Amino acid sequence: MSAPQRKKVLLKVIILGDSGVGKTSLMNQYVNQRFSNQYKATIGADFLVKDVLVDDRIVTMQIWDTAGQERFQSLGVAFYRGADCCILVHDVNNHKSFENLESWRSEFLLQASPRDPENFPFVVLGNKIDLEEAKRQVTYKKAAAWCQFKRNIPYFETSAKEALNVEQAFLTAARNALQQETDVELYSDFPDPIRIDRDSSAVKESGCSC
C-alpha cells in the first residue's frame, strides 16, 4: 500500500504600505536573494512564488506586491481577497509611512473581508534599518507598542538591502497563516487521476464511433 500523498499548502500573502518603503525589495530579497538600488514604482500588482518548509510542511507562498501610490490603490483591491496573511511595511526613516499603517490595515480588512477579522494574521515590518541612525524617525519601541495594541502583531525591523530579518519575517507570516488551517488551500503534488468506468451507461448510449 503506497504512502499517503503529502499535501502542499498554498498561502496567499499580501504586502501593503506606502510607496517607496521597500515592499518590492523585501519580496525580491526573500524570493530571489537580490537587491537593487534602482527604485521603480510597482504598477498595479505583481507576485512571486516560493516553496518553503515550515514546521515540516511544504508551503507554497504566493507573495503579492501591490502599488503604494494612491492612484493605483483601487487596482489592488481585487488582489486582497483570499489572502491568508498581510504584511504591512513602513520605512523607519519616514514617520508618515508609519502613521499610514492604520489606514492600510483598515482598508485591507474592509476590502478583503476575512472570515475572522479580529484574528486575521498580520506582520509589520519596519524597513531600511541599514540607513544611518540619525535619519531614523520611528523608534523600535514606538512601532512595537502599536503592534502590541493591535492584538500583538509580530514586528520585525528589516533591511531588504542587507537581508536582515527578512527570512524570519516571511516565515512568521507563513507560520501564523497556517494556524488559520481551515482557510488555507491544500493541493496535491499531482492531480487526481481521471477514472473511466467502461460499463457506464453514458459511454454505451453515446454510440460515438469517431
Q: What is the pLDDT of residue 57?
A: 86
Per mean pLDDT, which of 14-18, 78-82, 89-93 is the most reliable?
89-93
Q: Is 115 exposed, middle or buried (0-12, 13-18, 19+ CB in 10 A)?
A: exposed
> What's the rounded Cα separation, in Å, for the pair 34 and 140?
26
pTM of the model as a whole? 0.79
Residues 6+ apart with CB under 8 A from 197: 203
Q: What is the pLDDT of residue 179?
A: 86
Beta bridge pairs of residue 127: 91
Going by pLDDT thresholds of 50, 70 and 90, the confidence category of residue 33 is confident
More confident residue, 111 or 8: 111
Going by pLDDT thresholds of 50, 70 and 90, the confidence category of residue 200 is very low
* Domains (range + CATH), the chain: 7-206 (3.40.50.300)
- Mean residue pLDDT of the chain comes to 81
More confident residue, 9 or 168: 168
Residues 180-195 pLDDT 10s: 765 455 554 444 444 4
